[in-house]
Amino acid sequence: MQKFIVELIGVFTKKDLPEDYEKFVDYKATIEDRDVDDKVKIAVLRVKDTTSYHILFLDSYDSMDEIDKEVDEKLDGKIYNFNIRRILEGHINA
């Protein structure tokens, strides 16, 4: 069975985060019981053709494999786009 296609809206810091996504970041931070400062890179993902968003605090991941696992388990999705994968890997490895 094919997975949902997951797209990248953008990678932001808290101060640069568009207001539309603040509630999603706050919710994820509450679930993970963590504070998010302006140094944390935040990836905003969206399941294609939906209004379902998923937040990744990129300092929580050591590899793209960990992100793939979360996207698969929590969204039943997959990041197919090579450029998106490269952008996320670049932020993880920075």
pTM of the entire predicted model = 0.93
Q: Which pLDDT value is given to residue 34? A: 95
CA atoms within 13 A on the CB side of 77: 22
Q: What is each CA distance from 37 to 21, 58, 72, in whole angstroms?
A: 15, 12, 27
Low-confidence ranges of the chain (pLDDT < 70): none
Q: Which pLDDT value is given to residue 38? A: 92
Q: For tokens 């996320």, what's the residue?
A: 88
Q: Which residues of the chain form beta strands (DSSP E)?
A: 4-12, 42-47, 53-57, 77-78
Q: CATH code for 4-93? A: 3.30.160
Domain boundaries, the chain: 4-93
CA distance 18 to 34: 20
Q: Which pLDDT value is given to residue 67? A: 98
